[in-house]
Structure 1
Amino acid sequence: MTQNRSELRFRPNKSPQRIRHGFPWAYDNEVVTDRRTKKIALGTIVDLLDNDRNFVAQAAFHPDSKIAARVLERDRDVQIDAKWLESKLRFARDHRDRMFDTPFYRLIHAEADGLPGLIIDRFGDVLAVQPNAAWIENLLPDLQEALKAVFDAPVIIKNASGRARGLEGLSEETVVLDGSVDGPIPVQMNGATYMADVLGGQKTGLFYDQRPNHAFAAKLAKGGDVLDVFSHVGGFSLAALAGGATHATAVDGSAAALELASKGAAATGFDDRFDTIKGDAFEVMTKLADEGRSFDVVVCDPPAFAPAKPALQAGLRAYEKVARMGAALVRPGGYLVLCSCSHAADLSTFRQASLRGVGKGGRTGQIVYTGFAGEDHPVHPQLAETAYLKSIFLRLV
């Protein structure tokens, strides 16, 4: 039975064909926005209609965003509720459980898993939920019910930090919705133990997306030493030690993140081969170069320098600088690993900026591998933003 929902129509000169072919968004300049639509509450699920009032999709509406509607469901008669969310969660879990032997992974990757604006990372029995869109914030009780149906007695945390919630007009408040958490959670990946602070750490507490790139870097680091710049909780350095690196140094501006990295190293038995440097990454790299230090593998995994198009050019200059400074610290025959999680910088532009930086640093080499996010971060076929992570591995002469 057709439900009584508010309607949002495409403009007479705009076609919904892209959405019918799978694109997940309708922009504000494609739909009719008038006094009536302005009264529709933020995050309301509406019927998106074409010019002839034919149904296109159920979509989450945002009256003040350039992305006016995010597609949720292409069947008009389906009820978007706890049961609907449960089916999405089960579908996503089935894929992850095929890929991983341990219960540590990204469970929901927003649009790519059919739940726009929602991120869920799984840490065993603990599920860290980031409801970054108003529609899923509105359905949070249904999401809790769905998670309890899919997982046995889960601990559910609502992580409300980050830029995305601010853009949606949502508050920032991290709370435990179900169960309790006593402290950082040990997470086993690539032979190492990482400590994830799911309550006070960056994002949900750990970055699962770099898992395959950590593993590849570990192969390069076997028998050598590693400098892990912008290390967070020791992502690349701990994996490298597990893979046979002789020593690793983690550099980060956060004392809390470095403390977690040290705890992870101790938990895995690497503390005698691991040390940390707290400070601004650029200042630390300058100081190390001035001291004549060099390493077999240098990894630079900075935060997003170009999170949106207006920041692209400044971001590319920053990536170029990172590449130039990182290259100066690599021994001849060693490896430089450069990463970007910027949505606005695609692989080609990021690679060009990085190679320009390596060249300006007086180094040459070869690209031996290009890495992306792991298989728990699927890519929406028509949304380039879901393929945000790029990693370039170079061997330098």
Structure 2
Amino acid sequence: MTTTARHIIRLRPREGRRVRAGAPWAFSNEIVMSGGPKSFTPGTVVELLGDDGAALGTGYFNPKSLIAVRLLGPPGADIGVPFFVEKFARAKALRERFYDTPFYRLVHAEADGLPGLVIDRFGDTCVVQVTTAGMERLTLDMLEALDTVIAPTNVIMRNDTASRSLEGLDAYVRAAKGDAPPRLKIEENGVRYFADPSGGQKSGWYYDQRDNRAFMARLAKDARVLDAYCYSGGFGVLAAANGATEIVGIDSSESALALATAAAAENKVAERCTFMKSDVFETLEKFANQKRHFDVVICDPPPFAPSRKDVEAGARAYRKLARMASAIVAPGGFLMLASCSYNVSRERFAVECAAGIARNARGAALIRDAGAGADHPVHPQLPETAYLKALAYRLD
């Protein structure tokens, strides 16, 4: 898209400070909405100006969204195939510094300069998630650039996230190129897993926990390990491959447990792995009543606070999980608690975890305070992109 006759969006007086400081968004209450902007088609590429007329950047605009403008580049940027080629090549080069195999998050939205776009790479298959009207309108250019830089055999558009409705977009899943295989093989931390790119959660796999899985696996040798909310076996199978004597994985999804079982067999650790469909809180209570203990307990739940109104209830749930999980950790054992709820701050999460552990009169030492890996970079002006928290403790 060229800059010819590009629409203009102006900020209201005294509303340019955040954008000038590097924020990639302008909210609807910060811009002049009277006149033309209300009639602009959602996703229109625009020039953002300050109230003084100074050009601040190029982005796309949605008059129906709270986040009205999402910036793509500097003033006058040409948003087309070459733009995406440069962004993808830069993102790929960063990942290749850290990962020897082509299994990683290739694009992480604003942190890679591409708001509304997430791409996970599974070898010769890419799973693409578009969450905004602006990126939806740029999809053809984006896919052409992806073919230039990555040349995947398969491209799956996994556009079924709830956030699309906020942008007035329909939900759909389809293959934009090639096929949509029902099962993909993944290589991570020297172990092979399986993912369902069309029907699984998110893109079918959680690359964000890669480093935390590797850390916990170092504690697993000769250990009894409980992998709660195990999904498709990310923590548990790696722990087994690193010498754990027993793995118990719990999840509510039969399809995810089938993938975990397949991964255990693929890595020849099936005889040490038991995966069960069950409610985690009920199972933790049952194990406590049975006085059953584990040397390593890992809890990686779905978001307990998916929105701001859920923060207090979510915080209570994290405290309860910490209390119940720490009750079944053997003396001298290890507990990892994770949260992907960006609405619950890292500080609040740590407070709730510590309080839950303390309810069992357990002494604890925090040995790891981490987030996602390098393929999930964080935009310095968007704390939301640092959503993942992972705390590991040694318990007395």
Common fold: TM-score over 0.5:
yes
Which 10-residue stretch deviates more, 111-120 or 175-184? 175-184
Contact 1:190/1:242, CA 8 A, preserved across alignment: no
Quote the Cα distance in structure 2 between the aligned partners of 1:293 and 1:163. Answer: 39
Describe the SS at the equivalent of 1:180: coil
- Matching residue of 2:345: 346
Deviation digits for residues 172-193 of structure 1, max 9, x if unmatched?
1110110113331111112221
Quote the Cα distance in structure 1 between the aligned partners of 2:336 and 2:259. Answer: 22
Quote the Cα distance in structure 1 between the aligned partners of 2:276 and 2:288. Answer: 14
Q: Is 2:159 the counterpart of 1:160?
A: yes
Contact 2:38/2:63, CA 8 A, preserved across alignment: yes
Deviation at 1:355, TM superposition (A): 0.7
Paired residue type of 2:80:
D
Q: Is 2:355 the counterpart of 1:360?
A: no
- Matching residue of 2:36: 36
- Matching residue of 1:9: 10
- Matching residue of 2:381: 382
Deviation digits for residues 234-259 of structure 1, max 9, x if unmatched?
11111111221111111000000000
Quote the Cα distance in structure 2 between the aligned partners of 1:372 and 1:317. Answer: 21
- Structure 1 residues 127 and 115: CA distance shift in structure 2, 3 A: same
- Matching residue of 1:47: 47
Describe the SS at the equivalent of 2:287: helix
Quote the Cα distance in structure 2 between the aligned partners of 1:210 and 1:168. Answer: 29
Paired residue type of 1:23:
A
Deviation at 1:153, TM superposition (A): 4.3
- Matching residue of 2:113: 114
Paired residue type of 1:376:
D
Deviation at 1:271, TM superposition (A): 0.6
Quote the Cα distance in structure 1 between the aligned partners of 2:292 and 2:196. Answer: 32
Quote the Cα distance in structure 1 between the aligned partners of 2:7 and 2:304. Answer: 39
TM-score by length of 2: 0.97
- Matching residue of 1:288: 287
Paired residue type of 1:256:
S
- Matching residue of 1:197: 196
Deviation digits for residues 165-212 of structure 1, max 9, x if unmatched?
222221111101101133311111122211011111110000000000
- Structure 1 residues 66 and 307: CA distance shift in structure 2, 3 A: same
Contact 2:181/2:197, CA 8 A, preserved across alignment: no
- Matching residue of 2:308: 309
Contact 1:241/1:248, CA 8 A, preserved across alignment: yes
Quote the Cα distance in structure 2 between the aligned partners of 1:153 and 1:271. Answer: 32
- Structure 1 residues 152 and 321: CA distance shift in structure 2, 3 A: same
Quote the Cα distance in structure 1 between the aligned partners of 2:162 and 2:335. Answer: 30
Contact 1:228/1:249, CA 8 A, preserved across alignment: yes
Paired residue type of 1:60:
Y
Paired residue type of 2:6:
R
Quote the Cα distance in structure 2 between the aligned partners of 1:153 and 1:392. Answer: 36
- Matching residue of 2:368: 369
Quote the Cα distance in structure 2 between the aligned partners of 1:165 and 1:15. Answer: 27
Paired residue type of 1:111:
E
Which 10-residue stretch deviates more, 3-12 or 372-381? 3-12
Contact 1:191/1:242, CA 8 A, preserved across alignment: no
Paired residue type of 2:257:
L
Deviation at 1:341, TM superposition (A): 0.7
- Matching residue of 1:22: 22
Which 10-residue stretch deviates more, 97-106 or 61-70? 61-70
Quote the Cα distance in structure 1 between the aligned partners of 2:3 and 2:109. Answer: 27
Quote the Cα distance in structure 2 between the aligned partners of 1:275 and 1:219. Answer: 20
Quote the Cα distance in structure 1 between the aligned partners of 2:358 and 2:35. Answer: 56
Paired residue type of 2:262:
K
- Matching residue of 2:171: 172
1:109-258 correspondence to structure 2 within 5 Å: 109-258=108-257
Paired residue type of 2:320:
K
- Matching residue of 1:57: 57
Quote the Cα distance in structure 2 between the aligned partners of 1:279 and 1:225. Answer: 19
Paired residue type of 2:357:
V
Deviation at 1:35, TM superposition (A): 4.3
Deviation at 1:296, TM superposition (A): 0.4
Deviation at 1:331, TM superposition (A): 0.5
Describe the SS at the equivalent of 2:219: helix
Q: Which runs of 5+ in 2 are unaligned?
A: none
Paired residue type of 1:196:
A
Over the matched positions of the two proteins, sequence identity in percent amounts to 44
Contact 1:85/1:143, CA 8 A, preserved across alignment: yes
Paired residue type of 1:7:
I
Deviation digits for residues 15-34 of structure 1, max 9, x if unmatched?
32321221111111111112
- Matching residue of 1:74: 74
- Matching residue of 2:333: 334
Describe the SS at the equivalent of 1:209: helix
